[in-house]
C-alpha cells in the first residue's frame, strides 16, 4: 500500500510567519508598523485561547497588537462604537472580531460595520463580493492557508477536479472561489449531496470542511488525490479526548497522494494567514507593493 505524503502545515506556517516578519522589518525601516486589533466579547474559553495565540504571534512577527476584551453583556451600540473608532485609527490596519459573539449581538451587522479594507477575516459582504467577482479582496484566512498548501504541493492547480465538502461562508464557499480562480473545475458538496462518496472519488483535490468527525472515508478518495482536512473535532476515544479531522486519516492516508494531518495541518496556517492579511492590508493602505506569495 502506498502511504500519502504528509503535508506539514506547521512547518509551512512557520515559513509564512518568517516571510511576514521579514517584510514587517522592512516596513518598520520606513516608519510603518502594521497593526492588528482583536476584539473579544465575553468569556468563551476556546476564543480566549485563540485571541491569546493571535496576540502572541502578532507581536512575534514585529507587528503592533491591540487587544480589546469586552464583557459578555456589552451592548451592540458599544461594540459598534469601538469598531467605528478602530476603523478611523490609522495605526490599525486589521480588525478581527472573534466569533462566536454572545447571542444578543448580531454577528452579520457587526462584521459588516468593519471597514472592508481592514477586514482581515475576509467576512465583510464587500470582500465576499470582490472575491466572487475575481477582484482584489481580503481573503478568509483558512481557505487562503489551504490554497497556499495546495499550490506549494501541486504547483499549478489548473484543470484539476476539486471537490469542497462543506458550504460554510467561512471556509466552503470562499475555498470554492479561490479554486475557481486558480482554474480548477469545482464542485461544492455537503451532507445532503446524493452519493457523496462517488462525488469525492472523482476529485484530484478534496477539501473537507464539514464539521463531522472522520466523515470522509479512505474509499471516498481517488488514488493519488490531494486531501486537505479543515476539520477540528474533539472526540472521546478509549477514555481520552482526541483531536480528529473531517477525514478518516488512517484509511485516507493509504489511498491519497498527499494529506494534511489534524492537528498540525490547516490549523497553524489560519493564524499565519491572519498575519499575512494584516501585512497585505497595511501595504495596500500605504500604497506599497503587496508581499509576494502571501495573498491569493
Catalytic residues: 54, 98, 121
Instruction: State the Cα–Cα distance between residues 187 and 190, nearest whole angstrom.
Output: 10
CA distances from 27 to 23, 31, 34, 244, 290 (A): 6, 7, 8, 39, 12
Residues 73, 256: contact at Cβ < 8 Å?
no
Closest CA to 182 of 218, 155, 201, 164: 155
Which class for 205: exposed (0-12), middle (13-18), buried (19 or more C-beta within 10 A)? Answer: buried
DSSP 247: B
- Measured distance between the N- and C-terminal CA atoms of the chain, rounded to whole angstroms: 35
Q: Of the candidates 59, 60, 81, which has an alpha carbon nearest to the alpha carbon of residue 70?
A: 81
Cα torsion for 98, 99, 100, 102, to the nearest 10°? 40
Rounded Cα distance between 3 and 258, Å, is 8
CA–CA separation, 263 and 261 (whole Å): 6
Kind and range of the H or E run holding 198 = helix 196-201
Cell numbers for 34, please give them: 502594521
Amino acid at each position: 500500500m502506498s502511504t500519502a505524503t504528509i503535508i506539514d502545515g506547521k512547518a509551512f506556517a512557520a515559513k509564512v510567519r518568517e516571510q511576514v516578519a521579514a517584510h514587517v522589518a522592512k516596513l518598520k525601516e520606513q516608519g510603518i508598523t502594521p497593526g492588528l486589533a482583536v476584539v473579544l466579547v465575553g468569556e468563551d474559553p476556546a476564543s480566549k485561547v485563540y485571541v491569546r495565540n493571535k496576540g502572541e504571534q502578532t507581536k512575534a512577527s514585529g507587528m503592533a497588537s491591540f487587544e480589546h476584551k469586552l464583557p459578555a453583556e456589552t451592548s451592540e451600540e458599544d461594540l459598534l462604537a469601538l469598531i467605528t473608532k478602530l476603523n478611523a485609527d490609522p495605526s490599525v490596519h486589521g480588525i478581527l472580531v472573534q466569533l462566536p459573539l454572545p447571542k444578543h449581538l448580531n454577528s452579520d451587522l457587526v462584521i459588516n460595520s468593519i471597514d472592508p479594507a481592514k477586514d482581515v477575516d475576509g467576512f465583510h459582504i464587500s470582500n465576499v463580493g470582490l472575491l466572487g467577482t475575481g477582484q482584489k479582496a481580503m481573503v478568509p484566512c483558512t481557505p487562503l492557508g489551504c490554497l497556499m498548501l495546495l499550490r506549494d504541493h501541486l504547483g499549478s492547480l489548473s484543470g484539476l477536479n476539486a471537490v469542497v465538502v462543506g458550504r460554510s461562508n467561512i471556509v466552503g464557499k470562499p475555498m470554492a472561489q479561490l479554486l475557481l480562480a486558480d482554474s480548477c473545475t469545482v464542485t461544492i458538496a455537503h451532507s445532503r449531496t446524493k452519493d457523496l462518496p462517488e462525488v469525492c472519488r472523482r476529485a484530484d483535490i478534496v477539501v473537507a470542511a464539514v464539521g463531522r468527525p472522520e466523515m470522509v472515508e479512505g474509499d471516498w478518495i481517488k488514488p493519488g488525490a490531494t486531501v486537505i482536512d479543515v476539520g477540528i473535532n474533539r472526540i472521546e476515544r478509549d477514555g481520552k479526548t482526541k483531536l480528529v479531522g473531517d477525514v478518516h486519516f488512517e484509511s485516507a492516508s493509504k489511498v491519497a497522494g498527499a494529506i494534511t494531518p489534524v492537528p498540525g495541518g490547516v490549523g497553524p496556517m489560519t493564524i499565519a494567514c491572519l498575519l499575512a492579511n494584516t501585512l497585505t492590508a497595511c501595504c495596500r493602505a500605504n500604497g506599497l507593493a503587496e508581499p509576494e506569495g502571501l495573498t491569493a
